[in-house]
């Protein structure tokens, strides 16, 4: 499922992250590419072990942990330390699928990439192109969100970034290993959680029907989760 998470970072948070990464030393974006991606990828990236990337990534991780919508949608077990990229002057990233397993170089940290995430860090009016295009069963979905908004989508999907023809597209990107591996099961849990929250708001958290539905949610999560 494709989910937009608005205002993961507020304007002050975007400014803090941009203050760190804009002053960083950008390098060829293929530093973290797999073989297939390297053939299609044309952008710049902050080295993942740079001070700017680590400090900005910590701000993004804090925001993820504080977002109930992200937690409900992703049911995260592990999050890859956020990376940062920049597209300008016609740069793009052709159609590709993300690697199934992501390994942080120089460490034993690795995760199964169930979900991919793009956190937009530039005002969409400041650049042309740079659309995130995700292929799904209903056809291509085009995503270009305001700064501070996050797009979360299956890592198994084919996707691309269209050429940036004016300005610069700046974003953070990372992957999530979910406690619930199956995308369909994760979607059912997300929908059920939304229904429980809606019922609780209408009838009260202590209503017997709400308590029963909450039990169904947690028992399904218990059945499907690998934590």
Q: Which domains does the chain have, with CATH numbers?
A: 3-178 (2.60.120.620), 183-224 (4.10.860)
In the chain, % of residues over pLDDT 90: 89
User: Where does the pLDDT of residue 54 fall: very low under 50, low under 70, confident under 90, or very high at 90 and above?
Assistant: very high
For residue 40, what pLDDT is reported?
A: 83
For residue 31, what pLDDT is reported?
A: 62
What tokens does 223 get?
């059945």
User: Where does the pLDDT of residue 32 fall: very low under 50, low under 70, confident under 90, or very high at 90 and above?
Assistant: low
Mean pLDDT over the full length of the chain:
94
For residue 38, what pLDDT is reported?
A: 58
For residue 7, what pLDDT is reported?
A: 98
For residue 41, what pLDDT is reported?
A: 87
């Amino acid at each position: 499922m494709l989910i937009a998470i608005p205002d993961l970072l507020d304007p002050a948070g975007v400014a803090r992250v941009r203050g760190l990464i804009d002053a960083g030393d950008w390098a060829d974006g293929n530093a973290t590419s797999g073989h297939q991606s390297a053939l299609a990828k044309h952008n710049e990236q902050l080295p993942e072990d740079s001070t700017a990337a680590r400090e900005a990534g910590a701000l993004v991780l804090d925001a993820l942990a504080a977002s109930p919508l992200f937690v409900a949608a992703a049911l995260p077990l592990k999050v890859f330390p956020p990376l940062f990229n920049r597209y300008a002057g016609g740069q793009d990233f052709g159609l590709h699928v993300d690697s199934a397993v992501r390994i942080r170089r120089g460490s034993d940290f690795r995760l199964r990439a169930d979900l991919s995430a793009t956190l937009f860090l530039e005002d969409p009016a400041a650049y042309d192109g740079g659309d995130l295009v995700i292929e799904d069963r209903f056809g291509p979905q085009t995503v270009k969100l305001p700064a501070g908004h996050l797009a979360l989508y299956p890592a198994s999907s084919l996707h691309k970034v269209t050429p940036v023809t004016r300005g610069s597209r700046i974003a953070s990107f990372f992957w999530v290993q979910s406690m619930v591996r199956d995308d369909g099961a994760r979607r059912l849990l997300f929908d059920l959680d939304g229904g429980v929250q809606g019922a609780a708001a209408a009838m009260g958290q202590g209503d017997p029907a709400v308590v029963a539905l909450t039990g169904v949610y947690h028992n399904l999560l218990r059945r499907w989760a690998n934590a």
